[in-house]
Structure 1
Amino acid sequence: MKITVYGPDGCSNCSRLKEKAQNVVEENGFDADVEKEGDMAKLAEKGIMSTPGFEIDGEMVFNGSNPSEDELQELIEDRL
């Protein structure tokens, strides 16, 4: 599984979301790679108007919010 957090460099909300997603993956032993994409051209390609954006295996799951670790865990489990 590939998880991508989209947001510009220096976006604290985006960095926190990546950290939370990484924690969820590690704590639950999910086979997933978590990456952060800060390239504004890629954000525009994905149609992200409000950061952070959150994608799992190429599917944009949400953008413009920063859910709790429990909510992230549920989102990831639903796609296993």
Structure 2
Amino acid sequence: MDTVNALAEATRRYRRTEKAHEEAREAAVQAVVVALRSGVRPTDVTAASPFTAAYVRRIAREHGIAPAAPGPKRATTD
């Protein structure tokens, strides 16, 4: 029965913190949007955020932020 009680307690803790976690996630999303709109490079935004590069791109598109211009092409050596 201790295992079931431990599971029940863990579930209660999870549910108590779920709202705070969602609020923190939304604050992080908004910070990503602000950073991208202010010109911070997407790679730097990704490095400073809890999100993957793909998710940062998704956030950007969902908020109407255009893709970053491609960087310079690497010189090829023959």
Quick check: which one's helix share is greater?
2
TM score, norm. by length of structure 1: 0.29
Higher RCO structure (Cα 8 Å, ≥6 apart): 1
TM score, norm. by length of structure 2: 0.30
Larger CA Rg, structure 1 vs 2: 2
